[in-house]
C-alpha cells in the first residue's frame, strides 16, 4: 500500500469508482492524518445560561433520549435549524 504524504499527491477523480480504486492501494501517512485533525479552540464556543420551566426541560430531555442524543446538542441543532429558517425568511 502506498502512503500519501502530501495533499497534492491525491489526484482529482472523475468518478467515485475511480476514487475508490485509488484508495484501495493508497493510504494517508500518519503525519498527514495528524496534521488534518481538528483541534478545538476555546473561542469556538461560548457558554450561556438559560432558564427553563422544569417540565419543559424534562420534555426536551425525554425527546433527546428517544433520539439517542445529548439534550444540549439537540437544542443547539434546533437553534441552528431555526436560525437557518429565519435567515431564509428574511431574504425574501
Digit-coded pLDDT (tens) for 6-22: 999 999 999 999 999 99
Question: Confidence class of residue 91 from pLDDT cuts 50, 70 and 90?
Answer: low
Question: Residues 49-61: what's their mean pLDDT?
Answer: 96
Residue 92 has pLDDT above 60, yes or no: no
Position 26 scores a pLDDT of 95
**Alpha-carbon 25 to chain mean position:** 28
Q: Long-range contacts for 69-74 (Cβ within 8 Å, ≥24 apart)?
A: none
Q: How many Å apart are CA 68 and CA 77, to the nearest integer?
A: 14
Give percent of the chain above pLDDT 70. Answer: 96
Domain chopping of the chain, boundaries: 2-35, 49-91
Cell of 64: 433527546
Position 38 scores a pLDDT of 75
Amino acid at each position: 500500500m502506498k502512503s500519501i504524504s502530501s495533499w497534492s499527491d491525491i489526484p482529482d477523480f472523475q468518478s467515485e469508482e475511480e476514487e475508490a480504486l485509488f484508495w484501495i492501494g493508497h493510504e494517508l501517512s500518519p503525519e498527514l492524518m495528524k496534521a488534518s485533525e481538528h483541534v478545538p479552540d476555546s473561542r469556538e464556543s461560548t457558554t450561556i445560561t438559560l432558564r427553563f420551566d422544569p417540565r419543559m426541560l424534562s420534555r426536551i430531555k425525554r425527546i433527546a433520549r428517544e433520539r439517542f442524543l445529548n439534550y444540549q446538542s439537540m437544542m443547539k441543532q434546533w437553534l441552528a435549524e431555526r436560525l437557518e429558517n429565519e435567515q431564509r425568511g428574511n431574504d425574501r
